[in-house]
């Protein structure tokens, strides 16, 4: 491991809370696809399977920020454990309902309740912020966590689909629930690194979404999530048209691998200049990288194009987390990070449904027009909201990069 990452884990407890966060985040990439695989195998109803997966995603998008808001007020341990228990009970109900062929409405109720699963990525980043706030190490920490996210998305679906098809249909979602339980309860047992709650914000504090800068970030990432959701669905359909449906998982893994590589390299750098401009450039590159997909003619070309497209993802996400620190009060940091994840989740649901409709109407190659248009929308929203991002919220301390630059000037 490169020295900046080795130094990152010199902080007491950092290895343990990062490991717990990794386990707790695996369900993010395993549960939805696991439910699709399970239900389609048990019932043969792909429409029902997709609707249940979308219900989980949209429910998490709606409930997640509220859970994170309570975490900011009351602490991770007091909120995450009961929220996780609700998600685990709902997961068990969904598995039983699918296995014993209970009415569809029971499946949807359970799927909606699974949305109470907490945003572990935001919880871990909040712990890193508490440890390294105002230092260059926070940039490395955010980079590392983006790499962890991509690793989850590379291996999570493969594990979930593989277990459900090779063992028994419920195996994928069941293992996802086990990962969630172990990750959350292990994390919340680590009290020494838990960020202090801010109960005084309960009255009159409002939601983090009052921040104009956060509004721009969330709106942009709705469009960005639409890219991700569409690329997943269209790539599976395109591989199927090419007669190699199984290769879709490998091609999509390369998409995540590109982001993983970029995140590792970006974490070794010490970016200079305005983070707002760097973020806007990242969004622009994400949009532009969708254009070559319109020209794909075979799977090898698609694999290369997606790997290159993935290179823009992690650096943009890392810079986004720094901007959230600048535009959201410290007492609402976890909620602010979760709102970005919510925007992505809503976008993924939109992208999946729109892409599916286009594929049914015009074929898989035409489906790549959906991420191309979504990329253009993301760039447009980013440009229109740039001025809001250039004005930090009153009383904020600035991003990690700005802290570093001020310290260097002071020393000089």
Please tell me the distance from the alpha carbon of residue 274 to that of residue 403, in angstroms, as a whole number.
12
Same domain for 71 and 220: no
Same domain for 341 and 283: yes
Q: What are 264-323's pLDDT values in tens digits?
A: 888 777 777 788 888 899 999 999 999 999 988 888 999 999 999 999 998 898 888 778
Confidence (pLDDT) at 391 = 63
Tell me: pLDDT of 43 over 90.
no
Of 144, 163, 196, at which residue does a domain stop? 196
Assign residue 186 the CATH number of its domain.
1.20.1250.20
Same domain for 362 and 224: yes
Same domain for 241 and 280: yes
Q: What is the mean pLDDT of residues 346-362?
A: 81
Of 196, 226, 254, at which residue does a domain stop? 196
Confidence (pLDDT) at 200 = 58
C-alpha to C-alpha distances, 206 to 72, 209, 211, 214, 386, nearest whole angstrom: 12, 8, 10, 14, 24
Same domain for 62 and 19: yes
Contacts of 98 by beta carbon, 8 Å cutoff, 6+ apart: 38, 39, 42, 43, 107, 169, 170
313 found inside a domain: yes
Same domain for 160 and 127: yes
Same domain for 266 and 155: no
Instruction: Give the number of C-alpha atoms closer than 13 A to the C-alpha of residue 151, restricted to the C-beta side.
Output: 15
Confidence (pLDDT) at 404 = 38
Q: What are 193-228's pLDDT values in tens digits?
A: 888 887 754 444 567 767 787 888 889 989 998 898
At residue 46 the predicted structure's pLDDT band, cuts being 50, 70 and 90, is low
Q: What are 240-264's pLDDT values in tens digits?
A: 788 876 677 788 888 888 888 888 8
Tell me: pLDDT of 113 over 90.
yes
Residues spanned by the domain of 169: 1-196
Confidence (pLDDT) at 186 = 95
Same domain for 259 and 161: no
Same domain for 406 and 261: yes
- Between 411 and 1, where is the model more confident? 1
Confidence (pLDDT) at 94 = 94
Of 166, 196, 226, at which residue does a domain stop? 196
C-alpha to C-alpha distances, 26 to 9, 151, 155, nearest whole angstrom: 21, 9, 9
**Total count of domains within the chain:** 2
Confidence (pLDDT) at 140 = 83
201 found inside a domain: no
Kindly give the residue spans of alpha helices, DSSP state H, lying in 44-119.
46-74, 76-99, 104-114
Confidence (pLDDT) at 410 = 32
Token pair, residue 143, equals 């980079």
Same domain for 150 and 56: yes
Q: What is the mean pLDDT of residues 105-120?
A: 91
Same domain for 261 and 120: no
Q: Taking the model in full, what pTM does it have?
A: 0.75
Same domain for 390 and 244: yes
- Between 232 and 19, where is the model more confident? 19
Tell me: pLDDT of 399 over 50.
no
At residue 110 the predicted structure's pLDDT band, cuts being 50, 70 and 90, is very high
């Amino acid at each position: 491991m490169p020295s900046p990452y080795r130094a990152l884990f010199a902080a007491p407890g950092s290895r343990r809370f990062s490991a717990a966060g990794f386990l707790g985040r695996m369900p993010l990439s395993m549960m939805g696809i696991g439910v699709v695989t399970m239900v389609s195998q048990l019932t043969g109803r792909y429409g029902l399977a997709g609707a249940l997966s979308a219900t989980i995603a949209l429910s998490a998008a709606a409930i997640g920020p509220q859970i994170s808001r309570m975490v900011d007020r009351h602490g991770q341990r007091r909120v995450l454990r009961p929220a996780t228990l609700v998600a685990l009970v709902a997961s068990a109900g969904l598995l039983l309902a699918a296995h014993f062929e209970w009415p569809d409405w029971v499946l949807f109720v359970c799927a909606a309740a699974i949305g109470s699963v907490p945003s572990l990525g935001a919880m871990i980043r909040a712990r890193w912020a508490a440890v390294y706030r105002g230092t260059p190490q926070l940039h490395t920490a955010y980079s590392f966590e983006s790499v962890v996210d991509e690793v989850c998305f590379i291996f999570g679906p493969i594990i979930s689909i593989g277990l459900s098809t090779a063992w028994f249909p419920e195996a994928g979602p069941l293992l996802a629930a086990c990962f969630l339980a172990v990750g959350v309860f292990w994390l919340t047992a680590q009290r020494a690194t838990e960020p202090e709650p801010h109960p005084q914000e309960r009255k009159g504090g409002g939601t983090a979404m009052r921040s104009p800068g956060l509004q721009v970030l969330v709106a942009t990432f709705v469009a960005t999530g639409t890219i991700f959701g569409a690329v997943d669905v269209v790539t599976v359909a395109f591989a199927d048209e090419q007669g190699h449906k199984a290769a879709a998982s490998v091609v999509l893994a390369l998409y995540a691998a590109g982001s993983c590589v970029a995140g590792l390299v970006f974490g070794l750098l010490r970016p200079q200049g305005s983070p707002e401009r760097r973020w806007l450039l990242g969004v622009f590159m994400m949009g532009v990288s969708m254009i070559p997909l319109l020209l794909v003619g075979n799977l090898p070309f698609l694999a290369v194009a997606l790997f290159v497209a993935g290179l823009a993802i992690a650096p943009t996400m890392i810079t986004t987390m720094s901007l959230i620190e600048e535009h959201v009060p410290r007492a609402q940091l976890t909620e602010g990070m979760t709102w970005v994840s919510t925007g992505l989740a809503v976008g993924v649901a939109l992208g999946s449904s729109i892409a599916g409709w286009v594929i049914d109407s015009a074929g898989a190659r035409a489906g790549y027009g959906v991420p191309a248009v979504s990329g253009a929308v993301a760039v447009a929203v980013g440009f229109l909201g740039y001025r809001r991002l250039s004005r930090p919220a009153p009383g904020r301390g600035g991003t990690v990069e700005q802290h570093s630059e001020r310290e260097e000037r002071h020393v000089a």
